[in-house]
Amino acid sequence: MSLFNTIADIFSQSGYVQITWQQAVMILLSFVLIYLAIVKKFEPLLLLPIAFGMLLRNIPITGIMDGPSNGQAGGLLYYLYQGVKLGIYPSLIFLGVGAMTDFGPLLSRPTSLFLGAAAQFGIYVAFLFAILIGMPENLAAAIGIIGGADGPTAIYVTSKLAPEYLGPIAIAAYSYMALIPMIQPPIMRLLTTKKERAIKMEMGRKVSKKEKIIFPIAVTVLTSLLLPSVAPLLGMLMLGNLFRECGVVERLSDTAQNALCNIVTIFLGITVGATAAGETFLKLQTIEIICLGLFAFAFSTVGGLLLGKLMCFLSKGKINPLIGSAGVSAVPMAARVSQVEGLKANPSNYLLMHAMGPNVAGVIGSAVAAGVFLVIFG
């Protein structure tokens, strides 16, 4: 055998020859996402592992996402993906989110919960629209959850209802979360007057430590009894928050907030990216999913703002309707957008703490909306 033949053999069996056009497009797309994550800093903590997972999956022959067969072990990402498939990673991410979240602003103004509910409006509008264009109801529900602006919840619901669409739905959900500062402000300015945006809100009451400890326990019991399907999500969220508030397990709280959350983020990101195989991703339906996701997101913002306006009217101008848009649960990005828009209308207006109430209420609201879909279609 000559050296030339050996090289020709290696080349003929390599990925360079076997790559399909779909895989090539996906690899290029992963480069774009890597660029957006590193250079534009669009949700880099998630977008970078997602993009790299997409890159690895679309390199041919590696078998990195293949399951075990003929007595051979499966690929690395196949095993890591089981954490997504079994709903483990989203729940662990919620543990970290709970440990990072201060429910104080919500407890000091409980009416924030109404805004968190109203901002789930887009979930149902997108669901209806998906039904209208002939999508199966389980996929419509998974797409609708994008409107909750909550990545882990979207992944959790999709892994249960429409796992074959996990890639496009997760990528759409996280992309829109990163694009909140671009999506929400035009809607906020369209639906509110400058006078409303300039409203300064009074500080809420001081919340005691006891209330902060009792709240996560009460939420867990109440919501898990009503919607057992979301007990893993809400239970973990509230456990993380209890770690934070009880003050006796600082090491656990620290681990949940940092080490554990970071490790799970890596696994979740890379395996979600690895679900975006060229053959299944490059379809017209992916574009439909991405468009419906934007639709869901926009209508969730509208829902929150409209209820914010109603509360502004009923409170005789004491509530700034901008905090309504923070009811979508992207924490704390949506609250920051409310703060920025409030500051633009009135340079001495600081809405951040007021917007954090609806923002964390939105996390609970989107989990409840997910639970409803899981009960109906799961």
What residues line the site for another protein (CB under 8 A)? 106-107, 110-111, 113-114, 116-117, 120-121, 123-125, 127-128, 131-132, 134-138, 140, 161, 207-208, 210-211, 214-215, 218-219, 222-223, 226-227, 361, 364-365, 368-369, 372-373, 376-377
Q: Which is nearer to another protein, 128 or 182 (CB)?
A: 128
Q: Which is nearer to another protein, 274 or 330 (CB)?
A: 330
DSSP string, 107-165: HHSTTHHHHHHHTTHHHHHHHHHHHHTT--HHHHHHHHGGGGT-HHHHHHHHHHH-GGG
The DSSP call for residue 76 is H
CB of 106 to another protein, least distance (A): 8
Left if phi > 0, otherwise alpha if psi is -120 to 50, otherwise beta: which for 41?
left
CB of 154 to another protein, least distance (A): 16
Provide the token pair at 212.
């902060």
Q: Which is nearer to another protein, 123 or 177 (CB)?
A: 123
Query: Cβ distance 128 to 149 under 8 Å?
Result: no
Q: Which is nearer to another protein, 111 or 255 (CB)?
A: 111
Query: Cβ distance 48 to 178 under 8 Å?
Result: no
Residue 258 CB neighbour total at 10 angstroms = 13
Query: Cβ distance 282 to 26 under 8 Å?
Result: yes
Peptide bond into 332 cis (omega under 30): yes
Q: Which is nearer to another protein, 106 or 345 (CB)?
A: 106
Q: Which is nearer to another protein, 24 or 222 (CB)?
A: 222
Q: At residue 196, what are phi and psi to the nearest 5 degrees?
A: -65, -40
CB of 117 to another protein, least distance (A): 4
Q: Which is nearer to another protein, 44 or 204 (CB)?
A: 204
CB of 260 to another protein, least distance (A): 26
CB of 361 to another protein, least distance (A): 7
The type of residue at 166 is: L
**Pseudo-torsion of CA 65, 89, 230, 102, nearest 10°?**
-150
CB of 366 to another protein, least distance (A): 9
90 CB contacts (<8 Å, ≥6 apart)?
84, 152, 153, 155, 156, 159, 233, 268
- Rounded-to-integer distance, Cα 64 and Cα 242, Å: 38
Q: What angle do CA 324, 148, 141 make, to 5 degrees?
A: 140
CB of 89 to another protein, least distance (A): 22
CB of 247 to another protein, least distance (A): 9
Q: Which is nearer to another protein, 184 or 224 (CB)?
A: 224
CB of 57 to another protein, least distance (A): 25
